[in-house]
Structure 1
Amino acid sequence: MRGGVLAATGLRAEARVAQRSGYVKALACGGNEKRLVSLIEEAIRGGGIRGLISFGIAGGLRPGLPSGTIVVGTSVVANGTSYVADERWSDRLFESLPRAESGAIAASNAVVARPAEKQDLYMTTGAFAADMESHVVAHLAEQYGLPFAVLRVIADPASQKLPPAAINGLKPDGTPDIAGVLKSLLYHPGQLPDLLRAAAATRRAMQGLFRCHRFLGPGLGFADLR
């Protein structure tokens, strides 16, 4: 395989998992869309990028999908536009990952925290999960003529509420903002039970994500497709 795959993530921990696969360069944007666009374009201009993948954990939208569910994104729905993922790559992901689901991924410019918001987004888009990076990957893949794929693992399911400490506990480089979480808890200690549930769901999702790279091999399933 000449060149490699660029994995776009929100969290530094997700990027570290992606880079365990050969021929993968990963970047973390910390939930900042403009930063993600800049990082991806810089990597593409540097040469050698043959495909883009949105990789990481996500919020569940479809009812009944528990935390830890692997979702292969067949398309990304953003502002009324649907971007179709590369069919061969998506098929390879789905076939390689035990008990994976496949369906649309919804774009979001912020964390979808409340069950009612998740239900509204599901009813509007039919998407299985939502994240803040896949729409950027899809748009830039179309712009630069590159194939793209989406591999996400559900952290908080559709029925779970995320507290403010979980939403705002991230630094711009995608690493945890421990001080910010503690400050949020200090002012709103009642959110602790929801925060603990969110932390447990995130651990399950990250464990599932780690297992994914072991099944997929070099290039996160892309290496021998081109």
Structure 2
Amino acid sequence: MASPMLGILTGLAREAEIARRISPLVACSASDPARAEHLARELAGQGATALLSFGIAGGLAPELVTGDLVIGSAVATADAAYACDPELAARLVAALPGAVRGNVWGGDVIVDTAAAKVRLHRDSGAVIVDLESAAVARAAAEAGLPFGVLRAVADPAAHGLPPAALVGLDAEGRPAIGPVLRALARSPGQLPALIRLGRQSSAAMKALLAAAGPLGGRDLRGVA
């Protein structure tokens, strides 16, 4: 019988590097929701016995701050809601007792303003939003696999994203430096917000890296 294996989906290359400390079966979507759907199904087809959405996220609940870890209770989309596997969530909580439990909004577009975050939190009850969790939830449901979400808050609810942060990533999930610089040249006033976001993202990545230590090699619902 094949060994149990956790399949992890991320949006960014740095997230994927950290995730490989937890499991060797990792895919990075470059924050492309369509690609995330394809890769999540590929992970299920490559022998994953559970799936995990892993990375940074936008905060929706006002009490969450940069660097807070969130373990998903459920993933909601505009069309459906998917309950995270309770045993996998419990094992994540046991390894990361400081993490927050909450519902996740599985978005297909970036939520880029504080006002939009307020509305989404009010209407959905979700505490964070990301672009990969919906794909993981759907792939797990299709394959009959347990799934979970572990995310670190980068930009909190009160902060929107500057336009330069929305110009995309390269195919490997790394920032597209050229488009970012061109966006800054067109609108240099967004530089302070972009620097703030960079610091927030760095802090969230550090929180993920710290979480990877207790999770590496740990049995997460029969997966290692």
TM-score bracket relative to the smaller structure: over 0.9
Question: Contact 2:12–2:174 (CA<8 Å) still a contact in 1?
Answer: yes
Question: Contact 2:84–2:149 (CA<8 Å) still a contact in 1?
Answer: yes
The 2-side partners of 1:142 and 1:77 are apart by 13
Asked if 1:198 is matched to 2:197, the reply is yes
Which residue identity does 2:34 align to in structure 1? K
Question: Is the deviation greater in 67-76 or in 172-181?
Answer: 172-181
Match of 2:134 in 1: 135
Give the direction of change, closer, same or farther, for the CA distance of 1:95–1:54 in structure 2 (3 Å limit).
same
User: How large is the RMSD of aligned CA atoms in angstroms?
Assistant: 1.6
**For residues 21-100 of structure 1, what are the structure 2 equivalents within 5 Å?**
21=22, 23-46=23-46, 48-100=47-99
Question: Contact 2:102–2:127 (CA<8 Å) still a contact in 1?
Answer: yes
Question: Is the deviation greater in 92-101 or in 56-65?
Answer: 92-101
Match of 1:3 in 2: 4
The 1-side partners of 2:123 and 2:79 are apart by 10
Q: 1:38 Cα deviation (Å)? A: 1.8
The 1-side partners of 2:91 and 2:201 are apart by 25
Match of 1:113 in 2: 112
The 2-side partners of 1:44 and 1:152 are apart by 20
The 1-side partners of 2:160 and 2:167 are apart by 14
Which residue identity does 1:50 align to in structure 2? T
Instruction: Tell me the secondary structure at the aligned position of residue 17 of structure 1.
Output: helix
Match of 1:222 in 2: 220
The 2-side partners of 1:119 and 1:24 are apart by 37
Q: 1:44 Cα deviation (Å)? A: 2.8
Instruction: Tell me the secondary structure at the aligned position of residue 205 of structure 1.
Output: helix
Which residue identity does 1:17 align to in structure 2? I
Compute the TM-score of the two structures, normalised by the length of structure 2.
0.94
The 2-side partners of 1:214 and 1:68 are apart by 16
The 2-side partners of 1:123 and 1:159 are apart by 14
Q: 1:122 Cα deviation (Å)? A: 0.1
Q: 1:39 Cα deviation (Å)? A: 2.0
Question: Contact 1:88–1:225 (CA<8 Å) still a contact in 2?
Answer: no
Q: 1:225 Cα deviation (Å)? A: 6.3
Question: Contact 1:32–1:172 (CA<8 Å) still a contact in 2?
Answer: no
Gap runs ≥5 in structure 2: none
Deviation digits for residues 47-81 of structure 1 (CA, Å, limit 9, x no counterpart): x2111000000000000211000000010011142
Match of 1:189 in 2: 188
Question: Contact 1:27–1:39 (CA<8 Å) still a contact in 2?
Answer: yes
Question: Is the deviation greater in 24-33 or in 35-44?
Answer: 35-44
Compute the TM-score of the two structures, normalised by the length of structure 1.
0.93
Match of 1:17 in 2: 18
Deviation digits for residues 67-124 of structure 1 (CA, Å, limit 9, x no counterpart): 0000000100111421000001101111211421000000211111100000000001
The 1-side partners of 2:155 and 2:201 are apart by 7
